[in-house]
Amino acid sequence: MLTASEYSNNGRLHQPATGPAELNLPRVLWILSSTLEKLVARNEKLVEELNQQLNKLSCDSVRLGKSLNAFHGVRAPGISIPKYLERIYKYTNCSPSCFVVGYVYIDMLTHKHPDSLVLSLNVHRLLVTSVMVASKMLDDERGEQRGIEQTRIRVTLSVGF
């Protein structure tokens, strides 16, 4: 999703406003939150630039793909991505690997629907949904029901993603 040049600035890692020690997050989740924040910022800037160009041409505002409309909110939540990940991690018993797999699901979704962008209006809902699905795939401890549930989830994912 991001290239190495977008991820570093003069060899320094772009970091969220708060560090991992302040958030009580495993390092991998802190890196994911930083990556997602950069992705959202880049996409927001892209939409803004496209809208400015369309305004010069006296056209309507840019309308990107509809595939993520189900995840769009009316306005961006007041909680930052790192704080949101911290809350999900704190109040669920999801392992950090669920968050990594959830990020992979978001990445797969954006590759399948390249005209749809991860924005501040949908990133929180995408995160909680992808982590929930990843949790079902990785952390579910219901024994024999797990195979049935995984089949249902795969079918749902293939339809939704």
Mean pLDDT of all residues belonging to the chain: 76
pLDDT for position 83: 93
The letter for the amino acid at 102 is G
Cβ within 8 Å of residue 25, ≥6 positions away:
33, 82, 85, 86, 89
151 in Cβ contact with 123 (< 8 Å): no
Q: Which domains does the chain show, CATH number per domain?
A: 4-160 (1.10.472.10)
pLDDT for position 93: 81
pLDDT tens readout for residues 107-160: 998 898 888 889 888 999 999 999 999 888 886 654 445 555 666 666 666 555
CA atoms within 13 A on the CB side of 91: 8
Stretch 71-91: mean pLDDT, rounded?
Answer: 89
